[in-house]
Amino acid sequence: MTPQCPICDDQGWVMVERPALIYGPEGTVLKAVACCCIEGIKRAAPLRNGKRCLTLVDVWTPEQVLAAFPGGTAQAAEQAIRDRLVATGLPMVCRGWTIASYKEHVIGADKELARYGHWADNWVKGPAEDRGDVVLYGSKGTGKTGLAVAMARGAFDAGASMKFTTARVLMQEFRESMRDDGAGERAVDAAYLEPQVLVLDEFGGATLTDYLRDTLTALVDSRQKAKRSTLITLNVEDGLGATEVQAQMREVLGVRLADRLVDTALWWSLIGKSKRKPRRRSVLPYEGGSDAR
């Protein structure tokens, strides 16, 4: 196979001359530094804990880097992706979630959940205008947010614009936008209409006024007309059937929006035991300095 990188031949490392002060000011030694290609990033990443690994950007002049990588360095591309992810509103803890990591850490050997990984792959690989809306419902901790984020990240990596928000944040922004002459309201509407994929997380416990329900209904309606996908996660109680879940949806989002989603969206039921790992509690000594044994 022909190497993709002519600088390092896909080895990830390049030998360059570096000053060797131990031999005097004019002495040099050959030192391995990470290349600026994708393979270089892969090789250098494990060495960045605690001490950053040198790359060609550190030892070459900007002119040399530009001549070697006229299309831009992989580090620059990686930073651009990170910047785009920050702009999506994804919490830092979610930015590395992908369908592959969902399959590994959530699905594992669970054959019941395996179908969701398959469905998610098909949703991402389909034409952007045909992906449609998906409602992921289930009890807390069953992987709804993880799957929604992984699907949105898959579309994002394929070039789609994406935005993530929670029910609480969305409702707060809607309320605050009502305080001016309408400019804020239009700005909020545009911010949530524009992304090709929108994740609305943690619905089910939010209390909505009639105005907020109408605003959300108009938003989803406009997104559907523009063929933009919306992923909604809905917290429901254990043991509810599809009909009962949709009834709860009508109470939360209102009849108009709930019925529209029932008719047009895919409904995925993530029911089962919580996938969340219990947090470790730190053990602190009692006041006075002695531990109880």
Q: What is the 3-state secondary structure (H, E, C) of the chain?
A: CCCCCCCCCCCCEEEEEEECHHHCCCCEEEEEEECCCHHHHHHHHHHCCCCCCCEHHHHCCHHHHHHHCCCCCHHHHHHHHHHHHHHCCCCHHHCCCCHHHHHHHHHCCCHHHHHHHHHHHHHHHCCHHHCCCEEEEECCCCCHHHHHHHHHHHHHHCCCCEEEEEHHHHHHHHHHHCCCCCHHHHHHHHHHHCCCEEEEEEECCCCCCHHHHHHHHHHHHHHHHCCCEEEEEEECCCCCCHHHHHHHHHHHHCHHHHHHHHHHCEEEECCCCCCCCCCCCCCCCCCCCCCCC
- Per-residue model confidence (pLDDT) at position 193: 93
pLDDT tens digits, 152-206: 999 998 889 999 999 889 888 888 887 766 676 788 888 899 999 999 998 876 6
C-alpha to C-alpha distance for 198 and 194, rounded to whole angstroms = 9
pLDDT, mean over the chain: 81
pLDDT at 4: 74
First to last CA, the chain: 63
Q: What are phi and psi for residue 288, nearest 5 degrees?
A: 115, -15
- Among residues 12, 14, 51, 46, which one has the least CA distance to residue 30? 14
Q: What percent of the chain has pLDDT over 90?
A: 31
Q: Which amino acid is at 39?
A: E
Could you give the domains of the chain?
Answer: 13-79 (no CATH), 89-269 (3.40.50.300)
97 is written with which tokens?
């979630």
Specify which of 59-73, 78-92, 160-174, 232-246 reaches the highest per-range mean pLDDT: 160-174
Over residues 196-255, the pLDDT tens digits come to 999 999 887 666 788 888 888 999 999 999 999 999 998 887 777 778 887 888 888 889
pLDDT at 52: 59
Asked if 105 and 153 count as a contact pair (C-beta separation under 8 A), the reply is: no
Contact (Cβ atoms closer than 8 angstroms) between residue 142 and residue 172: no
Higher pLDDT, residue 111 or 100: 100
